[in-house]
Structure 1
Amino acid sequence: MQAYDKTKYRFAHAIIEVMKHEPLEKITVKDIVKKAGLTRQTFYRYFKDKYDLVNWYFDVLAQKSFKQMGVQCTLQEGLEKQFTFIKEEKLFFTQAFLYGKQNSLFNYAYDCILHFYEGIIVKKSGQPLDGNLRFLLRMYCHASIYMTAEWVRSGMRMSCKELSSLLIEALPTALAAILLEG
Structure 2
Amino acid sequence: MQSFNKTKYRFAHAMLEVMKKEPLDKITVKDIVKEADMTRQTFYRNFQDKYDLVNWYFDVLAQKSFKQMGISCTLKEGLIKKFSFIKEERLFFTEAFLHDNQNSLFNYDYECILQFYKDIIEKKLQRPIDEELFFLLRMYCRGSIYMTVEWVRNGMGMSCEEISELLIQALPKPLESLLLDLQG
Q: TM-score, normalised by structure 1?
A: 0.99
Distance in structure 1 (CA, Å) of the matches to 2:156 and 2:127: 37
Deviation, structure 1 residue 68: 0.4
Residue type of the partner of 2:85? F
- Which runs of at least 4 in structure 1 moved beyond 6 Å after TM superposition? none
Instruction: Show the 5 A alignment for 1:1-182.
Output: 1-181=1-181, 182=184
Distance in structure 1 (CA, Å) of the matches to 2:59 and 2:76: 19
1:134-182 deviation per Cα after TM superposition (whole angstroms, max 9, x unaligned):
0000000000000000000000000000000000000000001111134
Residue type of the partner of 1:116? F
Distance in structure 2 (CA, Å) of the matches to 1:33 and 1:8: 11
Distance in structure 1 (CA, Å) of the matches to 2:71 and 2:2: 26
Distance in structure 2 (CA, Å) of the matches to 1:163 and 1:22: 29
Query: Which secondary structure state, in structure 1, belongs to the residue aligned with residue 97 of structure 2?
Result: helix
Distance in structure 2 (CA, Å) of the matches to 1:71 and 1:33: 37
What runs of 5+ residues in structure 2 fail to find an aligned partner?
none
Deviation, structure 1 residue 124: 1.1
Deviation, structure 1 residue 94: 0.1
Deviation, structure 1 residue 102: 1.9
Distance in structure 2 (CA, Å) of the matches to 1:83 and 1:100: 20
What runs of 5+ residues in structure 1 fail to find an aligned partner?
none
Distance in structure 2 (CA, Å) of the matches to 1:19 and 1:102: 21
Residue type of the partner of 1:4? F
Residue type of the partner of 1:153? R
Deviation, structure 1 residue 125: 1.3
1:66-119 deviation per Cα after TM superposition (whole angstroms, max 9, x unaligned):
000011000000000000000000000000000111200000000000000001
Residue type of the partner of 2:24? L
Query: Which secondary structure state, in structure 2, belongs to the residue aligned with residue 98 of structure 1?
Result: coil
Number of equivalences: 182
Q: TM-score, normalised by structure 2?
A: 0.98
Distance in structure 2 (CA, Å) of the matches to 1:36 and 1:11: 6
Q: Taking every aligned residue pair, what percent have the same amino acid on both sides?
A: 72
